Structure 1
Amino acid sequence: MKTTGRRHFQAGFTLIEAMIALLVLTVGMLGVAAMQLKALQGAHAAYQRSVASLAAQDAQERLWAQMSENGDLACPSWADAKDLGDTSWYDTWKERLPGLVEESVDPPSGVPAPDCEFSISVKWSENRFVGEDSPVFGYTVRLPGS
């Protein structure tokens, strides 16, 4: 049997093809891993915004409860409402939102805002996203008190 020179010339070509295919597959897998990381970060940010929304609604409920406790539809003060119940508002939410700012309701003093309006700004620190500011969830509540 005679071998041709052409067959000998193509002997290593399939190995090069396999190496290039492996390189393309590796780059694709790195892209998938980066997308998965971004998806996990986005899911975590959405989770924290949901918790911040619940914290803001809890602050609103505490204001309503304080107004109900007064019994005369007078506008409540956040200074009294934040410590209503078994635990304070801050102690309830500080474990769920790392770096939660304690004074999140404006006005924080005993003086109610005009038209009994409160601005709730739930702010926490997020150290998973490098280079981004601390997230803030804004919520405005107007109670029927005077």
Structure 2
Amino acid sequence: MKQRSQGFTLLEVLIALTLSAIALLGTASLSLASLQSQQSAYQRSQATLLAHDLLERLRSKRGADSPYLAHLPSSDWWQTLQKDLPGATATLSQQGASQFQIRISWQEQSAEPRSILLEANL
């Protein structure tokens, strides 16, 4: 009579462990990509909100007479920009009597420079 082997062989166990390890690495890679995309979206949202905030401040101070045109780096808005987007730069320029351009630039962790541009008539 032939005796049947019972249980798993070492080769089957090694193959199962290898496949499990590959699956876990794939899951970790997808999670990392998701976190990076989420961080990028958060930074874009913050930059957009800050640009609109500055625009509203300009509207409330009547545009051309606004202290933000001359003293942007010393304003409380600038402090908020640096807190929310460390190392970011912002430029505010007046294009016409009531036309303004706000550009916010920052560096993402993936070393890609990003910027947004908001143009508005007050």
Normalised by the length of structure 2, the TM-score is 0.81
| Residue 50 in structure 1 maps to residue 45 in structure 2 | yes
Q: Could you tell me which residue of structure 2 aligns to residue 15 of structure 1?
A: 10
Structure 1 runs of 4+ off > 4 angstroms? 10-13
Q: For 1:95, which of 75, 83, 90 is the aligned residue?
A: 83
Unaligned runs of 5+ in 1: 68-74
> Quick check: 2:95–2:101 contact (8 Å CA) kept in 1?
no
Kindly provide the CA deviation profile for residues 39-68 of structure 1, in whole angstroms up to 9, marking residues without a partner as x.
00111111111111111011101110110x
Indicate the structure (1 or 2) with the bigger Cα radius of gyration.
Answer: 1
Q: Could you tell me which residue of structure 2 aligns to residue 123 of structure 1?
A: 105
Distance 1:122 1:88 in 2: 16
Distance 2:65 2:11 in 1: 75
C-alpha displacement at 1:76, in angstroms? 1.5
Q: Alignment identity in percent?
A: 32
Distance 1:77 1:14 in 2: 82
Q: Tell me the SS of whatever aligns to 2:87.
A: coil
More helix by share: 2
Look up the equivalent residue of 2:35 and give its one-letter code: L
Look up the equivalent residue of 1:81 and give its one-letter code: Y
| Residue 136 in structure 1 maps to residue 115 in structure 2 | yes
> Quick check: 1:100–1:124 contact (8 Å CA) kept in 2?
yes
In the alignment of these two chains, the number of paired residues is 119
> Alpha carbon RMSD of aligned pairs, Å?
2.5
Q: Tell me the SS of whatever aligns to 1:99.
A: coil
